[in-house]
């Protein structure tokens, strides 16, 4: 039986080792993100429904406010290029969780993986949380294996992954999402063929009918609330309502020859007070 030669340099990479082989570990890496024995990966692409903000796009603003209870999907700016003898483990950063921003699904990365990492950010705070393209989002540890392992075999390009993801999140929403995509149909990630496919899938989605039913019920409740409020006002102030509903009639000057003289204010005679005492 052949003996496996164990490498003496296997184990967790230090910051010095990460910096020395940064271009081998990833694309778009920055020496400023290297820590003592880890690397802090940054926000590269943010998905909110069909809205997409990227470090490669020309958006005026690359900041997004995550509302309380809302979640967004994030692709890292860096793209890992792991060798067959290298694994990575991603962790959420404590600085984000302390603010109530929960970063979900970072974890183990197999040898041979190539591409950005994807996470979900969920705002558990009662206040909006701002994230910006380029912010540090997850920290990654690299571990060199003692031998080569079977590589990850399902690698896809960033463009293909983001295009597929855009179609996926779009078909989970209502037709309004498709309209938003149409406004950005010039995007390289969403072609006209993709847009038509999304529209067909959305038109057959049961979420459309659920959204329509909810909208109709909400409209009926709003109309009933308005009529209920008017009825309560009339019951509380019946005399005032009757006066307000009477048509106004102008008072003409009787001294003019044709009765169309200037309007005179109506004069109410003062009541005569009789002394009840003898």
Instruction: Determine the angle formed by the axes of helices 175-183 and 192-203, rounding to 10 degrees.
Output: 170
- How many CA atoms, within 13 angstroms, populate the side-chain half-sphere of residue 218? 6
- The secondary structure of residue 33, as a DSSP letter, is G
Residue after which a domain boundary falls, among 131, 150, 183? 183
pLDDT tens per residue across span 22-33: 999 999 999 999
Surface-to-core class of residue 66, CB atoms within 10 Å of its CB (0-12 exposed, 13-18 middle, 19+ buried)? buried
- Residue pLDDT, tens place only, 68-114: 999 899 999 999 999 999 999 999 998 888 889 999 888 899 999 99
Q: pLDDT by residue (tens digit) across 120-146? A: 999 999 999 999 999 999 999 999 999
31 with 154, same domain: the answer is: yes
Determine the Cα–Cα distance for residues 119 and 33; give it in Å rounded to an integer: 18
Q: At what angle do helices 175-183 and 158-171 cross, to 10 degrees?
A: 140
**Length reported for the chain:** 278
| Residue 176 and residue 215 in one domain | no
Domain of residue 38, CATH code? 2.70.40.10
Whether residue 205 sits in one domain with residue 176: no
% of the chain beyond a pLDDT of 90: 38
Q: Under a CB-based contact definition with an 8 Å cutoff, are residues 50 and 166 in contact?
A: yes
Query: Domain check: are 166 and 107 in the same one?
Result: yes
């Amino acid at each position: 039986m052949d003996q496996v030669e164990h490498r003496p340099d296997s184990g967790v990479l230090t910051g010095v080792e990460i910096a020395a082989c940064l271009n081998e570990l990833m694309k778009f890496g920055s020496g400023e993100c290297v820590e003592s024995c880890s690397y802090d990966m940054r926000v590269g692409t943010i998905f909110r429904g069909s809205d997409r903000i990227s470090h490669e796009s020309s958006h005026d603003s690359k900041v997004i406010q995550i509302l309380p209870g809302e979640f967004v999907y994030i692709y890292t700016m860096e793209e890992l290029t792991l060798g067959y003898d290298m694994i990575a483990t991603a962790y959420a950063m404590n600085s984000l969780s302390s603010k109530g921003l929960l970063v979900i699904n970072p974890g183990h990365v197999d040898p041979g993986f190539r591409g950005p990492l994807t996470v979900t950010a969920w705002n558990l705070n009662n206040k909006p949380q701002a994230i910006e393209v380029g912010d540090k989002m997850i920290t990654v540890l690299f571990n060199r294996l003692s031998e080569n392992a079977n590589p990850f075999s399902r690698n896809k390009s960033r463009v293909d992954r983001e295009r597929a993801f855009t179609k996926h999140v779009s078909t989970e929403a209502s037709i309004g999402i498709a309209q938003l995509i149409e406004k950005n149909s010039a995007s390289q990630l969403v072609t006209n063929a993709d847009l038509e496919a999304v529209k067909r899938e959305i038109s057959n989605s049961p979420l459309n009918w659920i959204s329509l039913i909810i909208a109709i019920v909400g409209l009926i409740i709003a109309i009933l609330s308005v009529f209920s409020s008017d009825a309560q006002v009339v019951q509380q102030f019946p005399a005032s309502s009757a006066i307000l509903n009477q048509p106004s009639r102008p008072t003409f000057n009787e001294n003019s020859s044709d009765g169309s003289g200037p309007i005179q204010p109506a004069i109410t005679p003062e009541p005569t007070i009789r002394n009840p005492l003898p």
